[in-house]
Amino acid sequence: MRNIITIFGSTGDLTIRKLLPAIKRLLEEKLLEKDTLVLAIGRRNYQTVEYLDFVKKNSPHKFDVDFIAPNLEYFKLDIDALSDYQRLNEKIQSYGETRRVFYLAVGPDLLTSIASNIGLSNLVTKGDLNASITFEKPFGQDLISAREINGLLWQYFDEKQLYRIDHYLGKEMIQNILTVRFANKIFEGSWHNHAIKNVKIIAKETDTILSRAGYYDTSGALKDMVQSHLLQMLALVAMEVPLSYQSEDLKNEKVKVFDKLRYDRKSLVIGQYEGYLNEPNIDQDSKTETFVFLKAFVDTPRFKGVPFYLMTGKALEEKESVIIIEFEETPEQHKWDLPLKTNKLYIKIAPLDGISLTLNSKVPGLRNDVEQVDLEYCIACNAVGNMPEAYEKLILDMTEHHKSLFTRWDEIELSWQFIDKIKQDIKDKQIPLTIYKKPSDLYDLITEKEEAF
């Protein structure tokens, strides 16, 4: 059956930088069939050739539009005009029986009007598993707005037809977390509070907000990063063994983690980089946080008492996303003066994906000195050819109806509950916003509160 991928927001940054290059790679690799059609939806008065020219000019990576040209058509549509959706439906119907993905690569303010018009025009009819609809993050701005959006979607569509993207879940090492945990006895056997001392989940960026002021100032680090990427990573680290590795079983376990999640208010550090208020289109009184640190706990028998430190921010000293699992000392270690007190497992997500493990090891030679050694596996360094981008995996899964890497409604609901509580505490308890010139302004504050960090 022919695949039709319809992209709303086809002139946007996400489509140009991520979606079209991912589709092109999938076509090149023959993972998408040759007759796949991409319908690029936009409000601008373009012909397909003009649209492709626009993509070429605006692509930062010299995107080769010639390769994708035979598979792509531009379709002008007014997102508020139901008749335009009916016209689109007639066009799609003319291809006979097809598998249809409707990808909403637009800002959150447009989601509901586009989705309801897709439903009203029967572009996607409830229960038809050959038609699905994909939403970018953020899914809502808080619990109330997310519930409203979801309530509307459930009027028109089945949960099985909804694909809520958190692109971190398409990253190679995030997909690898469960394999590392459950397919290695050394970790599987010690993945609990008797052996794990703490977990750090860190996503640091050097970038400022760039040109995203409109979105970012209404969001901030908690909503932009913690609600989605960091909590998803936490759930994969903390969940129990699922009944199977099928989508629903995995999500059931993740939801149990979110249900038992709480945070320690005293640990909270929020910051805003110096100069944020001078960024274009930022309100001079803005209290939006560009940095968050907090200590959370998952009150399950497996992880009770283990601190999960979450940290994310902009304008920091390096770009790095990593999960660090720190293990307890062995009783024997106390008898020796070792360079390394604890073993650490690093699950590295960016900039290079991989795993490393730090161990104590005897220095080779006649003496009994001990040194710290790192066992290192760099995925990108060992891969043959280019590593797939997260969006390639996610688009492929959408066309094949694999839902494990997309978030279910109850995951979103509980994660917003967690974030809303923190936001409320910031307001009620007047948690101070630290203006940071350099990252050490924040790190000093964190170590004052959390020696272990």
Ligand X SMILES: NC(=O)c1ccc[n+]([C@@H]2O[C@H](COP(=O)([O-])OP(=O)(O)OC[C@H]3O[C@@H](n4cnc5c(N)ncnc54)[C@H](OP(=O)(O)O)[C@@H]3O)[C@@H](O)[C@H]2O)c1
- The binding site for ligand X (CB under 6 A) comprises 9-14, 17-18, 42-44, 79, 105-108, 110, 136-137, 167, 215
Identify the DSSP state of 126: T
Q: At its nearest, how many Å lie between ligand X and the CB of residue 311?
A: 20
Task: For strands 433-436 and 261-273, give the pairing.
Answer: parallel
In the bound state with ligand X, the residue whose beta carbon lies nearer, of 224 and 411, is 224
We find the least distance from the C-beta atom of residue 110 to ligand X, in angstroms, to be 6
The distance in angstroms from the start CA to the end CA of the chain is: 53
Alpha-carbon torsion (181, 312, 134, 41), positive or negative: negative
Q: Is 229 a catalytic residue?
A: yes
Min separation Cβ 212 and ligand X, Å: 8
Query: Are 296 and 263 within 8 A, CB to CB?
Result: yes
Residue 79 beta carbon to ligand X: minimum distance, rounded to whole angstroms: 5
Contact residues for 308 (Cβ-Cβ < 8 A; gap 6+): 198, 199, 200, 201, 234, 237, 238, 295, 296, 297, 298
- Torsion of Cα atoms, 9 then 12 then 14 then 15, to 10°: 60
Find the shortest distance in angstroms from Cβ 180 to ligand X. Answer: 26
Ordered strands of the 72-76 beta sheet: 72-76, 37-42, 2-8, 98-104, 131-135, 162-165, 406-407
Catalytic residue among 229, 334, 401, 402: 229
Pick the closer one to ligand X by CB: 198 or 219: 219
Q: How far apart are CA 46 and CA 251, in angstroms?
A: 42
The nearest distance, CB 114 to ligand X, in angstroms, is 8
Instruction: Assign 5 to helix, strand or coil.
Output: strand
Q: How far is CA 373 from CA 180, 346, 356, 360, in A?
A: 20, 13, 10, 6
Which position's Cβ is nearest ligand X?
A: 12
CA distance 416 to 140: 9
User: With respect to ligand X, which residue has the nearer C-beta, 216 or 263?
Assistant: 216
Rounded to whole angstroms, the Cα distance separating 86 from 413 reads 33
- List alpha helices for 377-438, DSSP H: 379-382, 390-399, 409-428
Q: Which residues are catalytic?
A: 229
